[in-house]
Structure formats: C-alpha cells, structure tokens
Amino acid sequence: MRNKLRKITKYNLMLLALVFIYVFVIGLIPLGTYMGISYSLTFSLIYLVSAKLISEKGHANMFVYAGITIAVLWLSELLHLEVVSILSAIISIGFIILIIIMLLTRVARSNQVTILEFVEAVNIYFLMGIIGSILFRIVYEFVPGNSFNLPDNSITPNIDFIYFSFVTLTTLGYGDITPIDPFAKSLAVFLSISGQLYLTMIIAVLVGKYLSKK
C-alpha cells in the first residue's frame, strides 16, 4: 500500500511538472514554427502520465483512451483539418475531465491531508485552466464572426488562450483580451465561476480533513 502511494505521488509530481511546462515554459521559448509541435508533445506526455497515474488506481483501460487521444491530437497537428481539430478538442476535453473527476474522488475519499492531496488539488486547478484554453480556442477558430476583442487584432492561439483561460479562471481579468461573442462570454462566466467554486470547496475539504485529525 505504501509503495502504491509513493508511485501515485511520483506520477502526480510528474503531471505537475508537465502542466507547469505547458502553461509557463513553452511560451517563453522562441520556437517559431515548432511551437505547435512543442505544445502537442507536452500534451501527449500529460496524457501518458495521467493514464499511468489513473492506472495505479485500478483503471488500466485509461491507456486505451490516452492512446486514442494522442493519435487524434497528432492527426490534428499534421493535417490541419477542421473536423479533425474539433474531434481532437472534444476527445481531449473528455479525457481531462475524466482525470479531474478521478483526482477529485481521491482527494474527497482520503482520510488525511498530505503532500499528495495538495499536489492533486493543484493539478486539478491547472487542468481546469487547460480545458478552458481548449474551449476558448475552439470558439475563436470555429465560431463564425469575431469572438474576442484582441490587442492589435492578432493572437497566438496556444499562448494567448492559455493566458486568457487562467486570467479568467482566477477572475483577474486584465481586459486586454475580452469575449464579444455571446457563447464566448458565457464560457468566460462559466470558467470564472468554476474556478472560484473549486477553490472554495477544495480549501474547505482540505482544511476540514486537517482539522479532523487534530
């Protein structure tokens, strides 16, 4: 049991490192035309580590889902077809939601508060922001008309929508990128409310578990 917990902690830390790289690091490197490939590669590693993490909890079939998700992701990256891009986004969102649900379940069922619970809580928050960035990019690329008011009418989709998603999730809202399409506005409101509700509830759960052991 202790060895299994060590493995789960290790894969959670690996997942945290990968989402940190995805959100904070890649956009700082002048990769030029390789930017999209770098994001896709990091995303693929996130899927694999997530599948390994969940398989340690008895869900070995997650590797099949991860494999399908990665395959469609790279087809989207290579073919640049609208239908494949939308399919990839939908499958990716579904996969990440499953990971979030399973991590939330583990945090809720744990009897104590350790570094593992804190890392899982942080991973969930990062994954919520990544889902938001995917959704905003779908709206930007595939909803007719201007969905966002952009500075200089230019945008780098991966970098800017990751930024906008987390600014929205934290309800910071600088105002440099603003939604103008009704669907984009609704999505921004939903994400900001989700972020605040999650922080409120996860803090209550972790503090409650900690105090119950005092």
What six digits make up the tokens of 199? 């922080």
Q: Token match 């994001």: residue?
A: 39
* CB-based contact 92:40 (threshold 8 Å): no
**What pLDDT score was predicted for residue 54?**
86
Task: Give the pLDDT confidence score for residue 158 in this predicted structure.
Answer: 86
Please name every residue paired with 178 in a beta bridge, in sequence order, or none if there are none.
Answer: 149
Please, how many CA atoms are within 13 Å of residue 77, restricted to the half-sphere of its CB?
Answer: 19
Domain that holds residue 174: 2-212
CA distance 31 to 4: 38
Instruction: Give the number of domains in the chain.
Output: 1
Predicted local confidence at residue 57, as pLDDT: 64
Taking only the tens place, the pLDDT of each residue in 131-167 is 999 999 999 988 877 889 887 767 788 899 999 999 9
Please report which confidence band the pLDDT of residue 69 belongs to, taking 50, 70 and 90 as the band edges: very high
115 against 157, higher pLDDT? 115
Mind listing the pLDDT tens digit for each residue in 159-201? 999 999 999 999 888 888 999 999 999 999 999 999 999 999 9
pLDDT in tens, 35-57: 889 999 999 999 999 999 988 66
Residues 6+ apart with CB under 8 A from 184: 136, 139, 140, 143, 147, 148
pLDDT given for residue 153 in this prediction: 67
Best CA proximity match to 93, nearest among 191, 21, 205: 191
Q: What does the angle CA 46 – CA 50 – CA 55 come to, to the nearest 5 degrees?
A: 150
Query: What percent of the chain is modeled with pLDDT above 70?
Result: 96
Which of 120 and 146 is assigned the larger pLDDT?
120
At 149, give phi and psi (nearest 5°). -90, 115
Distance CA 61, CA 14 (A): 20
Residue 210 pLDDT class (50, 70, 90 cuts): confident
* One-letter amino acid for residue 155 of the chain: I
Q: Hey, is 1 helix, strand or coil?
A: coil
CA distances from 128 to 15, 134, 135, 200 (A): 14, 10, 11, 15
178-179 and 148-149 strand pairing: antiparallel
Between helix 35-55 and helix 157-169 the angle, nearest 10°, is 50
Q: What is the pLDDT of residue 139?
A: 93
Residue 58 pLDDT class (50, 70, 90 cuts): low
- For residue 199, which of 180, 158, 161, 171 has the smallest C-alpha distance? 171
